[in-house]
Amino acid sequence: MCGISGIINRKNIQAEKDEIVKINDLISHRGPDDEGFFFGETFAFGHRRLAILDLSSDGHQPMSYLNEKYTITYNGEVYNYLEIKEELIEDGYIFMSNTDTEVILASYDRWGEKCVNKFNGMWAFSIYDKEKNILFCSRDRFGIKPFYYTESDNKFIFGSEIKQLLGFDKDVLVNRKILVDYLLYSLEEHTNETFFKNIYKLEQSHNLIYDLSKNTFKIYKYYDLEIDDELASLSEEESIIMLKDRLESAIDLRLRSDVKVGTCLSGGLDSSSIAAIASKKYFAETNKRFIAIHAKSIESKTDESHFAREVAQHCNLNLIEVEPQLEDITNNIEEVIYTQEEPFGGPSIFMQYFVMKKARENGCIVMLDGQGGDETLFGYEKYFAFYFASLIAKFKFIKYWKTIKNLQLFKVSKKYILRDSIIILFRNQLSFLEDLVRKKRTFIKLKSHRKSLNYIYSFKDFKNFQKRELKTSCLPHLLRYEDKNSMRHSVETRLPFIDYKFAQSAVSMNDELKFKNGYLKYLLRKVVSPILPKSIVWRTNKFGFEAPTDMWIASYKDVMISKIQKSKILKNTVEISDEMFNNKKLLWKMYNIAIWEKVYGVKFEA
């Protein structure tokens, strides 16, 4: 787990050493253990190392292979590297280290660009292929690890963070299209564009091939999550056994480490499931209690520390709690916004930030976390409406009424679900919905491009909706929060629920089993019911490292309004009114933009 940097000079002269060193230094937090550089004829690689596997100098990067036939700068972990290594040894390959980095290089030599199909893990890398005179760049299937790039002044620059790319243009400009998507629809990470104009990200499941001879590049997709129809025909018992198998395998792979491993624990079903399975395996191997870190909210209605303690006691975990006060949030606003690099959804991100900080303080360099469980296993209450819309579309009215009668509700009502089911089915056909949105959003000065977002809001069936949640509308921004917060503290997080084999199996399974007897994530509840307390397995109130948002806004509202009113970007984007300040979500978004504008010196281009 590391940070990467790259500069290609299109003037066919060597990239400047000062430039690659400068952008590499900006991500020192991603790799405090080592740094390295490699210079080609017209390009340079930089690397910052966070040592996880093979802590010796053999893991130094950029790493070359076969007498510098290939050179890589790489960020991530290929968890199944041992299995791939055995296969390569049988083919005659010789290894000089115990790193997964060397396995990637040998895999590229053996299978070429298709090597990424062999990997189970998370990655963003660039391999210099000397014979072909290309850079082979890749990002993992779900985009856990970031890869940003830009083109400026006859240069192509890439890196693990946006801040590395900002110094190459005269001005730092806001991307108005993405800004409007965020303000109107709370969208982030839904395209390859960022909040910064002319800075892009290589999308998940994509490779980028840069031809150094022609100074051109192409991008193509190498993976799509395919639905396995056979899994949908499994019985409940068979589904539970398979899901348990896949989850335990995913956790097994993610416990491979030469440094201390711990886990995040909110007390919710996902994090508790991972903690219960991982702690048992960890204790069997090390005879030590597994560390779990919990963020306790000082606001009683968002505090779930009692659930975390119950899990810790039941699973013999070493529970460490962090309890941020309101002033901790206030004092770290600019730091967290600098860390995240782009505006984000709400103050709960601060809680995750403090968890990662506490992990580092306690020597946990690797942390497991539960991102992806909701998207793969039907975990959000908003999914009720999409599921029922699919039943209505198939004229399964009897099943609809039987199912809705048994709903285990917490935040939404049956009336709300019915209303949204109808909207989901007909929003593409009913023009009045577009008018409704437009009337409600008249505060935006810039033109909205709602029709261009139809690919996000159109609904075909529940399987396609789940795939979209994983690829576009939900998971990507959660992965961004996770990566930025953890790596700011030199911590690697690993996410068993988006092991690609687990995710593909979970999405493929019978939807009626994921949502049975009125319970979200029914199958997962059945998988972990033997190893967790009933109060955790069957709880319906969902939080997840929730910040004391209402308390903080109440105490800080005047300052937020003052910052908003001073923002030049917002003055050019929004018709600001006092009424808007009573909408907490909108208030936060505007405040976030104002601070982001200040931290990164972002300008509005007329």
- Mean pLDDT on 574-588: 91
**What pLDDT does 436 receive?**
46
Average pLDDT taken over every residue of the chain? 93
What is the residue range of 426's domain? 381-467
Clarify whether residues 255 and 350 are in a common domain: yes
Q: Work out whether the CA dihedral 269, 273, 274, 275 comes out positive or negative.
A: positive
Quick one: pLDDT band at residue 431, thresholds 50, 70, 90? very low
Say yes or no to pLDDT of 545 above 90. Answer: no
Checking 19-28 for CB contacts under 8 A at 24+ apart, the result is 19/44, 20/44, 20/45, 20/46, 21/46, 22/167, 23/157, 23/159, 23/164, 23/165, 23/167, 24/48, 24/164, 26/161, 26/163, 26/164, 27/3, 27/159, 27/160, 27/161, 27/163, 27/164, 28/3
Tell me, what's the pLDDT at 541? 82
Q: Is residue 605 domain-resident? A: no
Read off the pLDDT of residues 36-90 as tens digits, 9 standing for 90 and up: 999 999 999 999 999 999 999 999 999 999 999 999 999 999 999 999 999 999 9
Active-site residue, selected from the candidate residues 2, 115, 137, 364 = 2
CA distance 355 to 357: 5
Give the model's pLDDT for residue 441.
59
Domain boundary among 467, 488, 515: 467
- Amino acid identity of 101? T
**Under 8 Å between Cβ of 110 and 91:** yes
At residue 563, the pLDDT reads 97
- The CATH number assigned to the domain holding 321 equals 3.40.50.620
Residue 410 is predicted with a pLDDT of 67
Of the candidates 365, 290, 358, the one whose C-alpha atom is nearest the C-alpha of residue 53 is: 365
DSSP bridge partners of 493: 367
Same domain, residue pair 83 and 216: yes
* Token pair listed for 248: 């335990």
Provide DSSP, 299-323: SGGG--HHHHHHHHHHHT-EEEEE-
Domain end among 415, 440, 467: 467
Whether 319 maps to a domain, the answer reads yes
pLDDT at residue 449 is higher than 90: no
Mean per-residue pLDDT, 578-582: 90
- Catalytic-residue membership of 2: yes
Q: How confident is the model at residue 591 (pLDDT cuts 50, 70, 90)?
A: very high
Tens of pLDDT, residues 330-355: 999 999 999 999 999 999 999 999 99
C-alpha separations of 308 from 226, 244, 265, 312 in Å: 35, 22, 6, 6
The residue among 564 and 418 whose pLDDT is bigger is 564
What is the per-residue pLDDT for 602? 98
Residue 544 lies in a domain: no
* Closest to 434 (Cα-Cα) out of 189, 190, 193, 185: 185
Q: Which bin fits 450, alpha (ψ -120 to 50), beta or left (φ > 0)? A: alpha
pLDDT of 332 reads 97
The residue ranking higher by pLDDT, 383 or 404, is 383
Residues 37 and 176 in one domain: yes
Q: Is the pLDDT of residue 419 over 90?
A: no
Is residue 308 within 8 A of residue 547, CB to CB? The reply is no
Residue, of 301 and 241, whose pLDDT is higher? 241
Q: Which two tokens stand for residue 538?
A: 């069957």
In a domain, 227, yes or no: no
Reply yes or no on whether the pLDDT at 432 is more than 50. Answer: no
Average pLDDT score over residue span 169-198: 95
Determine, yes or no, domain membership for 494. yes
Shared domain check, 478 and 368: yes
pLDDT of residue 289: 96
249, 276: one domain: yes
Quick check: 13 pLDDT over 80?
A: yes
Report the percent of the chain where pLDDT is more than 90.
80
Q: Which one-letter amino acid corresponds to residue 531?
A: I
Tell me the average pLDDT across 157-175: 96
| pLDDT tens-digit readout, 326-335 | 999 999 999 9
Instruction: Give the confidence band of 427 by pLDDT, cuts at 50, 70, 90.
Output: low
Residue 397: pLDDT over 80: no
Pair 300, 367 in one domain: yes
Going by C-alpha positions, the residue among 601, 592, 28 that lies closest to residue 337 is 592
Cα gap 52→491, rounded to integer Å? 10
Does one domain contain both 496 and 562?
no
Tell me: pLDDT of 149 over 60.
yes
pLDDT at 435 (0 to 100): 45
Predicted confidence (pLDDT) at residue 400 exceeds the cutoff of 90: no
Among candidate residues 467, 494, 526, the one where a domain is terminated: 467
299-308, 360-369, 428-437: segment of lowest average pLDDT: 428-437
Residue 62 shares a structural domain with residue 202: yes
CA distance 242 to 245: 5
Q: What average pLDDT score do residues 120-135 get?
A: 98
Are 440 and 456 within one domain? Answer: yes
Query: Which of residues 432 and 502 earns the better pLDDT score?
Result: 502
Q: Examine the pLDDT at 437 and tell me if it is beyond 60.
A: no
b/e 154-178 (16+ beta carbons within 10 angstroms → b): ebbbbbbbbbbbbebbeebbbbbbb
Contact present, 373 and 502 (Cβ < 8 Å): no
Tracing tokens 């990164």 back to the chain, one arrives at 600
pLDDT for the residue 388: 84
Q: Based on the domain organization, do 20 and 88 belong to the same domain?
A: yes
Give the whole-angstrom CA distance, residue 177 versus residue 464.
26
Residue 543 domain flag: no
> Is 98 a member of any domain?
yes
The pLDDT-based confidence of 439 (bands split at 50, 70, 90) is very low
Q: The domain spanning residue 154 has which CATH number?
A: 3.60.20.10
77 with 191, same domain: the answer is yes
226 domain residue, yes or no: no
Give the total number of structural domains in the chain: 4
- In this structure, the answer to whether residues 532 and 435 fall within a common structural domain is no
